[in-house]
Amino acid sequence: INFLKGNIKIAEEGFTYIISLDNKNAAAHYELGICHYYRANLLDAIKSFETVISLENGFSMARYWLGKCHKDLFQYEKVIEEYQILFEQFPEWAGIACDLGLSFERIGNTPEAIKYFEKVTKLTKSNMIAYYHLGDLYFKSGNWIKSMNAYKEGLMINPDSTLIKERIEYLKSAEMP
């Protein structure tokens, strides 16, 4: 109740107390992790979510929040580790596929990033950001035609996107290899 009312500090104290009584209470560790996250104590949040997963390996939302903490700390390899497990369980979760695409892009694994952004576009046809990243990734991999097509798909979703318009103009003006 305190958490819902915005009293995160009091909620955190309550969950800490519950854990002191029952250290194997996965739900209390989970809620404590959420409190830590919202108080920007990401390292404590990570410990809480890792505890939850050690107690109940199938606690998917703990894995989601753990990945979110790693993403906020720019630990993309760890995001990939957690979110690949989630995506295997929930292949329709477009947000996870998008975060996987972004994480693979950040570590320089273009083929895997493309794979996940392509999954995003299959799961949700209106994700302009996925088409934008696909355009960039296809360009990086030397496939200018796919790059242009991805940008055009994104522009169909948001005709006012200056980012995509700039990319299309750049491709039109560039000398093809």
Spans in the chain with pLDDT lower than 50: 1
- Summarize pLDDT for 133-157 with one digit per residue, the tens: 999 999 999 999 999 999 999 999 9
Name the token pair of 45. Answer: 């949040």
Contacts of 160 (CB under 8 A, 6+ apart): none
**In this structure, which amino acid lies at residue 51?**
T
d(CA 141, CA 124): 24
Name the H helices within 56-177: 60-72, 76-89, 94-106, 110-123, 128-140, 144-157, 162-173
- pLDDT value, residue 5: 63
pTM flag (> 0.85): yes
pLDDT score at 177: 57
- Cβ atoms < 10 Å from Cβ of 96: 26
Residue in the structure block whose two tokens are 């505890």: 51
Q: Half-sphere exposure (CA, 13 Å, Cβ side) for 58?
A: 1
What integer pLDDT is reported at residue 3 of this predicted model? 60
Predicted local distance difference test score (pLDDT) of residue 125: 87
Task: Output DSSP code: residue 175.
Answer: P
CB atoms within 10 A of CB 77: 11
